[in-house]
Amino acid sequence: MLSNDTDPIVAIATAPGRGGIGVVRLSFGRAGEVAAQKAMVALCGQALAPRHASYVPFVDANGEALDRGIALYFPAPNSYTGEHVLELQGHGGPIVLQLVLQRAIEVGREFGLRLAEPGEFTRRAFLNDKLDLAQAEAVADLIEASTEAAARSAGRSLDGAFSREIHVLVDDVINLRMLVEATLDFPEEEIDFLEAADARGKLTRIRQRLDSVLADARQGALLREGLSVVLAGQPNVGKSSLLNALAGAELAIVTPIAGTTRDKVAQTIQVEGIPLRIIDTAGLRETEDEVERIGIERTWGEIERADVVLHLLDARTGVTDEDRVIATRFPAGVPVVRVLNKTDLAGAAAALRDDAEGREVNLSAKTGDGIALLRDALLKIAGWQAGAESVYLARERHLIALREARDHLAFAASHADQHSQVLDLFAEELRLAQDNLNAITGEFSSDDLLGVIFSRFCIGK
């Protein structure tokens, strides 16, 4: 534990700006109960009963009220941080909150009270075993959730649903490791360990459970991050009309004049709770217009960063040579949906084709016919599953750890299929898989990783 993780800290715990209620939170670290008692008397004019809401004045050095509100005292270890915590809940004006904060710092100067760093309260909750690392990250995810589905999934992670799944996996891996290590310790035992202990069967069940957790985590990561969807194609194929149709609002200017869109227009929408950032871009063509040329360069930049590219074409002309040239420049590995727009003018019906040759949607952005098919195609690309109530919010580092654990278990399985002389390799792969799983909940995490994670929290959390 770093030395500054034991300092008494204070911060305004509510968002900047005016509000009905503002909270100043103190956590007393190594200073403990004595400092907490001094602070509450100096700030509230009286001692406070533990876990009891008291309506008191928040007083300055002369005993005059800076504000009046609710004071709450939570003795360790029954607090958010696991330390002695004092919360002052007053009016949410910026000036009055700063006055209370400055008074708290003045009172706490004798026992080393300082301003909290971003995420430091939650970091202490993790260090004091009040939350594991996945739950701590879920606090920030719940605050930042942009959709109802994301908020519900973050809540499940905060309640420990994701962590429980990881702990079950870790326990199963540990039990299998124990069997392997025991066999390595007693090689004279003439017994086929792999058969007698059903090691292969145990490993298969662990891998199946991990695949299930990874599938849920992928969908949880999607709820958190969403997809960046870029509309690309030649001028005047209806990109702006499609953006407006998907967003349900007139966000982009639509005219029959080719090249109307000179710069990107972006809008985040929700489809079944999945955030999709739709980006309308300048039409792709050769041009002498300097402004339009800059817009086209930005279009290719957005395409390079896209999660999905919607390649728009005119249904009346189909795929032209120019469209084929554009398609050759799309980045490898990025899903592309070919969208034939203006079916109302071409006399064609809305349709969705999804086969080995790729995905293609026929629609009319003007009438809305086929828009639902495009939404379905985007959800399929995202890996969304209807009714996935078990989903918990996950981050990219969780996915990386789960994939690496899966790879190590696959290597372990390959060793299990060989002669027992490679049991030591089997055991090592199991250990590495366990380390990756433990990194998710923070049972095995470097200080550098913790610094990165908690620095992204807001101050006061």
Say which CATH number the domain at 364 has.
3.40.50.300
Q: Does 241 share its domain with 331?
A: yes
Domain that holds residue 157: 143-222+395-442
Q: Does 243 share its domain with 206?
A: no
Q: Which of the listed residues 111, 131, 151 is the one where a domain comes to its end?
A: 131
| pLDDT for position 186 | 60
Q: Does 204 share its domain with 233?
A: no
Q: Helices 161-185 and 199-225, interaxial angle, to 10°? A: 150
Q: Which of the listed residues 382, 415, 433 is the one where a domain comes to its end?
A: 382
pLDDT in tens, 325-372: 888 888 887 888 899 999 989 888 988 888 777 788 998 988 989 998
Residue 137 lies in a domain: no
Helix %, strand %, coil % of the chain (to 5): 50, 20, 35
Residue 461 lies in a domain: no
Q: Does 173 share its domain with 304?
A: no
For the chain, which ranges sit under pLDDT 70?
1-3, 184-197, 248-264, 283-293, 383-391, 416-422, 444-453, 456, 460-461
Residue 459 lies in a domain: no
| pLDDT for position 154 | 81
| pLDDT for position 239 | 82
Residue 455 lies in a domain: no
Q: Does 374 share its domain with 355?
A: yes
Residue with tokens 């005219």: 255
| Strand order from edge to edge, sheet including 85-92 | 54-59, 65-74, 85-92, 19-27, 9-12, 114-115
List the structure tokens of 388.
Answer: 């996935």
Q: Does 373 share its domain with 426?
A: no
- Can you tell me the distance from the alpha carbon of 387 to that of 390, in angstroms, rounded to the nearest whole number? 9
Q: Does 45 share its domain with 112?
A: yes
Q: Does 405 share its domain with 352?
A: no
Q: Does 150 share its domain with 93?
A: no
Residue 272 lies in a domain: yes
Task: Give the CATH number, domain containing residue 400.
Answer: 1.20.120.430
Q: Which of the listed residues 101, 131, 161 is the one where a domain comes to its end?
A: 131
List the structure tokens of 144.
Answer: 């930042």
Of 111, 80, 86, 119, residue with least CA distance to 100:
86
The count of domains in the chain is 3
Q: Does 193 share its domain with 324?
A: no
Residue 390 lies in a domain: no
Provide φ and ψ at 315, rounded to 5°. -65, -20
Residue 436 lies in a domain: yes
Residue 362 lies in a domain: yes
In angstroms, how far apart are the furthest CA atoms of the chain?
A: 84
Q: Does 216 share its domain with 244?
A: no
Helix (H, G, I), strand (E, B) or coil at 39: helix
pLDDT in tens, 370-397: 998 988 888 887 766 655 555 677 788 8
| pLDDT for position 415 | 76
Q: Does 358 share its domain with 232?
A: yes
| pLDDT for position 386 | 59
| pLDDT for position 3 | 45
